DNA sequence: GACAACTCTTACGTAAAAGTCAATTATAAT
DNA sequence: ATTATAATTGACTTTTACGTAAGAGTTGTC
């Protein structure tokens, strides 16, 4: 595994702009190290970017993505904190299950649309 | 089934504002009938709003939601149009499958987080 | 050594999706 | 009749998530 990635390497891999990566740094989602002023992204930053993109595809806001990422960094905190995290995890899971349900429903409706189209096309071929 | 719903009834049911529903009308997503100036929402409008909210939860933009809704209104068009629709349906399905994959991955990671928390809590109880 | 390619910071601009506020107008209830 | 309650349009504002442009420094290479 490579030690570092440049910013443009990552913009190409994830098809995003440098502005976007700098914005995510401003937002505290990633924290690449520096050589002088130049950012050097470690594999762990790359993983974070993957998680960010996944969050974006699911329609989560930056704030929500930040929350999710924070959960991954579970600190070995005290009991109360751990309970809070477990609760937050359960909340997010509920949201995700809702989204999954929404997806299944939409997929089913699209299946119906396609079937209707195909049937219509079949009719047209018979009629001609 | 009721014939009409008022705008506030629907804002309460879906937990959105009147501004939002009027915005969706401006955007051409819904087209409630009028009695005088007052909007009257039919059951079909209610179904549309449900679909819009589903799209929103999945992170689709208004433009994308409009596209999806258009697909549902499959007109008995000519063959070329039907093929175009089938293609669009397939595109959306690919997107939805990607989202579903993203959800499964995120759920798995959250499972891991919870397990780590629970284990940590168990350790703490043993140590005390 | 100059040209390209890449990097940086700072700052203003913008599109989407509403929120908010103002000024009216109906409808309903007491 | 009046007093809420709900509805309307129109306009301005806000938030999010970047885009874009300016100006400058760095690295590589022909």
Torsion angle, alpha carbons of B119, B121, B127, B128, to 10: -160
Q: With an 8 Å Cβ cutoff, are B58 and A124 in contact?
A: no
Distance from CA of A45 to the nearest CA of B (A): 17
Pairs of residues, one from chain A and one from chain B, whose beta carbons lie less than 8 Å apart: 111
Distance from CA of B106 to the nearest CA of A (A): 8
Judged on CB neighbours under 10 Å (0-12, 13-18, 19+), A41 is buried
Type and span of the H or E element at A21 = helix A18-26
B5 secondary structure, DSSP code: B
Query: For residues B28 and B84, what is the distance between their CA atoms, to the nearest angstrom?
Result: 22
pLDDT in tens, A23-47: 999 999 999 999 999 999 999 999 9
> Tokens in use for B128?
């005390």
- Half-sphere exposure at residue A125, Cβ-oriented, CA atoms within 13 angstroms: 8
Query: For residues B97 and B78, what is the distance between their CA atoms, to the nearest angstrom?
Result: 29
What residue of B is the nearest CA neighbor of A128?
A: B79
For position A19, what pLDDT does the model report?
Answer: 98
Type and span of the H or E element at A33 = strand A33-35
Which pTM does this prediction carry?
0.95
Query: Is it the case that residue B19 has pLDDT exceeding 90?
Result: yes
What residue of B is the nearest CA neighbor of A119?
A: B82
Q: Are B71 and B92 in contact (CB under 8 A)?
A: yes
Could you give the 3-state DSSP secondary structure of residue B24?
Answer: helix
Which nucleotide comes closest to A27 if you measure CA to C1'?
D17
Higher-pLDDT residue of B128 and B85 is B85
> Tokens in use for A60?
């989560």
pLDDT in tens, A101-127: 999 999 999 999 999 999 999 999 898
Could you give the 3-state DSSP secondary structure of residue B39?
Answer: strand
Query: For residues A44 and A32, what is the distance between their CA atoms, to the nearest angstrom?
Result: 9
Q: With an 8 Å Cβ cutoff, are B110 and A96 in contact?
A: yes
Q: Are B24 and B66 in contact (CB under 8 A)?
A: no
Average pLDDT over residues B3-31: 97
Place of tokens 């809702």: A98
Query: For residues B79 and B25, what is the distance between their CA atoms, to the nearest angstrom?
Result: 31
Query: Is it the case that residue A75 has pLDDT exceeding 80?
Result: no
For position B128, what pLDDT does the model report?
Answer: 72
B3 secondary structure, DSSP code: S
Q: With an 8 Å Cβ cutoff, are A54 and B120 in contact?
A: no
B39 touches strand D (CB under 7 A): yes
């Amino acid at each position: 595994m490579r030690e570092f990635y440049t910013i443009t390497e990552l913009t190409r891999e994830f098809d995003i702009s440098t502005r976007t990566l700098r914005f995510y740094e401003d937002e505290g989602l990633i924290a690449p190290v520096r050589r002088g002023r130049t950012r050097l992204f470690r594999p762990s930053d790359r993983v974070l970017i993957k998680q960010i993109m996944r969050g974006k595809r699911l329609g989560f806001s930056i704030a929500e993505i930040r929350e999710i990422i924070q959960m991954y960094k579970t600190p070995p905190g005290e009991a109360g904190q751990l309970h809070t995290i477990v609760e937050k995890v359960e909340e997010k899971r509920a949201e995700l299950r809702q989204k999954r349900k929404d997806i299944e429903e939409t997929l089913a409706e699209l299946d119906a649309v396609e079937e209707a189209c195909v049937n219509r096309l079949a009719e047209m071929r018979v009629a001609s």
